[in-house]
Structure 1
Amino acid sequence: MKTLLSALALLASISIAQAGPKEDASQVIERWSKAFVNADLDGIVTLYAPEATMIGTLGKVVMTKPEQIRKYFETAMLNSRPTDIALQSAETLVIDDNTVVLSGLDTITGTMKDGQPYTSLGRVTFVLAKRAPDWKILHLHRSPLPK
């Protein structure tokens, strides 16, 4: 019995240890989505690497500094309150053990500052990299889905 329990514990630890880059990066995207919907500015910003770049949905410049990314989300959260973000279709490309690209189509729903509901269909690409010991967002680009 003790041997069986030891074997099960070993198998469990192996399966946990075998979570790969795709799964690790997906967890970052899940945390990002949760922070976004909860309007958790600090939660979003801490997921980005210091050298991250970003082009937001309504962005007109490539942001290259953490304070620019923070300001973008701060302004976005003042003007609209997201209530849900969902990936309808996404593909994950594992470049190597430390780099993952996720591209897909998403829908963001929420309420504008004036109380009007909104739905934003978009195309999104995240580039994530392992920065010991955590995974960080190196780049985010989101643009409206053409009609």
Structure 2
Amino acid sequence: MRTFLSAVALVASVATAHAGPKEDAYQVVEKWGKAFTNGEVDAIVNLYAPDALMIGTLGKAVLTKPEQIRKYFDVALNSDKPRTAILDSSEATVIDDSTVVIVGFDTITGTKDGQQTVGKGRVTFVVAKRGSDWMIVHMHRSPLPAT
């Protein structure tokens, strides 16, 4: 019996040790949301691959360089505090063992003139494994239309 329980424990630990590409990608998006909410510019920028592409919520250009992404979040995360970012619903497609696309709807809150603002949006993350790390290689967010 002891051998059986040990075997079950071993199988369970191996199964949880490697969750899979989808779960790994969602962990990156979860870290992104926490860094956004906590206003941690370095933490959020470090989630992006050096060659990542990004279009912010009201972006009028594709950001292609780490310094552009840093500048975007330096402004975004240091205004209208406190802020939150919550992924309300999403779907994920595993492209291969090292690439996952996550699309969904989110809610971003902020504070303007002492009043809470709420912005519903559409968001896409492409998360890819670079070396041993999962990183954002593409992100796009746009406001949800009013109608």
Q: Quickly name the TM-score band, shorter chain normalised.
A: over 0.9
Name the structure 2 match of 1:15: 15
Distance 1:137 1:82 in 2: 24
Q: What is the CA–CA distance in structure 2 between the aligned matches of 1:82 and 1:90, rounded to whole Å? A: 24
Task: Measure how far apart 1:59 and its partner are.
Answer: 1.1
TM-score (norm 2): 0.93
Q: Please tell me whether the aligned partners of residues 82 and 108 of structure 1 are also in contact (alpha carbons under 8 angstroms).
A: no
SS of residue in 2 equivalent to 1:81: coil
State the Cα distance separating 1:2 from its structure 2 match: 3.8
CA distance in structure 1 between the partners assigned to 2:127 and 2:111 by the alignment? 29
1:116 deviates by: 2.8
Aligned residue number for residue 80 of structure 1: 80
Taking the aligned partners of 1:83 and 1:74, their CA distance within structure 2 comes to 13
Aligned match of 1:70: 70
- The aligned counterpart of 1:109 is 109
Q: Where do 5+ consecutive residues of structure 2 fail to align?
A: none
Tell me the residue number matched to 2:28.
Answer: 28
CA RMSD, Structure 1 to Structure 2 (Å): 1.4
Report the secondary structure of 1:79's partner residue: coil
CA contact (8 A) 1:36 1:82 kept: no
Deviations 1:48-78 (A, max 9, x none): 0000010000211100000000000001123
Counterparts of 1:36 and 1:15, CA distance in 2: 31
State the 1:146 CA deviation: 0.6
The two structures have a TM-score, normalised by structure 1, of: 0.93
Task: Output the amino acid matched with 2:119.
Answer: S
Aligned length: 146
